[in-house]
Structure 1
Amino acid sequence: MECPDCKSTHIRKNGHRRGKQNHICVNCGRQFVSNPQIQPGYSDDTRIICLRMYVNGMGFRGIERVTGIHHTTIIRWVVAVGQQLPDAYDPEDIPSVGELDELQTFVGSKKTIWVWTAVNHFQAGILAWVVGDHSAETFEPLWQIVRLWHCFFYVTDGLKVYPLYIPDGDQIVNKTYMTRVEGENTRLRHYLARLHRKTLCYSKSIEMLKHSIRLLIHYLKFWDVPVPFRFIP
């Protein structure tokens, strides 16, 4: 037996790794097992199927039970894709009437988090969103996007934060006219298990929630999911 790096034959046993005898090279310190089995990575089709299951209401452990793929592997795929996707897409038509609303969810040990969404009153799809608490600091980045639309009106639910940014006379406080944004928020809850009102699925971190929302919004816009990086097992 020789070291795979320096080819030295001065080898000693060094415990076990995953049930196999581990060796160490006295010359260079490289550790290795004899006759290692190289596990092939999952195909692109398998990765895409798992991500589609995820954005169609299944949790990570549910996908694991169906496919046999460990849930942490699927989580890494979601993170890899979420890091590739943007937070917002340029609207096909600049909205003349915008709708703003907040969706409540939980992160970690039942910490209340809000997903703020902005949509075009006359077209489907979420155009911009942010995640955080119910404060003006959270809404500020969203408003920096929405204000560029120069809408004639902004329809809201009357949260006290909105008048701090929306010019006088441009805000309509009326839940009746918020069917578009409420419908989009309902779709988020329907398609993403961690946003269901009564569920055992929950977000352990805000970053994981953001990755999930990016992936879902992409899916609802294009009805497809990107392929995760191949180097992720």
Structure 2
Amino acid sequence: MKNTILLISLLASSFIFSQQIHVRYLKVLSSFTTTHEDLYIKDNQVLSIQDSVIVQNKLTGDWTMAVNLDHGRKPSKEYFVSDLNNDVEKNFFFTSSIDGRGFFIYDKVPKVNWVIDEKQTKKIAGYTCYKATGVFRGTNITAYFTKKLPYSAGPFKFYGLPGLILEIKPDNMDHEIWKAESVDKDDQSKIVYKPQFLNKDKISLKEHVVAKEERMNKIFAKVTNSISSSMGAHVKNNQRFTVEQKYEWEDNEAN
């Protein structure tokens, strides 16, 4: 009898992992804009695609500052490629665009030291989710994950919990927030999980961060110049408006 139960459990587990999971997240980009991110999981492979379609805030009817000042150029789709694992570090490959130039970047992301509180729960997309907290690259974050979907994955570069992350947000920001709107456990989309992006320049994460911040500093300079000097306003350089506030090499440089 025990052997039969074990066999049924193994078959059920095999069936779950052979299906393709699709989670659609609403992502809050800023106080003014939102977009969507689609996460796909199948056979130990993970692909997350952040949409290029940005929804404008109806109250302002305007794009974010960065988009306005980048010659009206809208964001491109961004891809995050990885595999399922629960190691202390995880290999990510992701795309990015800076001033119209496309990049393909390798990133080794350390696992968050999660603290789980199973007394704190909420329903998200029909699933009971448990609260977890931790620090991700210098930012205190709160996540909600479900054990009903046993995948150590989530949107963007988040992973490391004993279940799929359906909501995650920084504790001190009103943006960089992801929340699942829907979950399809038997998605039939044709997904290429290991895209090559041969038309994009391959660079290191550090090179990408430097290039991105140089571009943002030019934008900040435009903002400062456009503000009347009588207002006494100034926009600081090297501000990071993302959940990634401090990278691993910066810890090493500080020591």
TM range (shorter): under 0.3
Please give the TM-score of this superposition, normalised by the length of structure 2. Answer: 0.21
Please give the TM-score of this superposition, normalised by the length of structure 1. Answer: 0.23
Q: Which has the higher contact order (CA 8 A, sep 6+)?
A: 1
Q: Which structure's residues are more often strand, by fraction?
A: 2
Name which one, 1 or 2, has greater alpha-carbon Rg: 1
Q: Which structure's residues are more often helix, by fraction?
A: 1
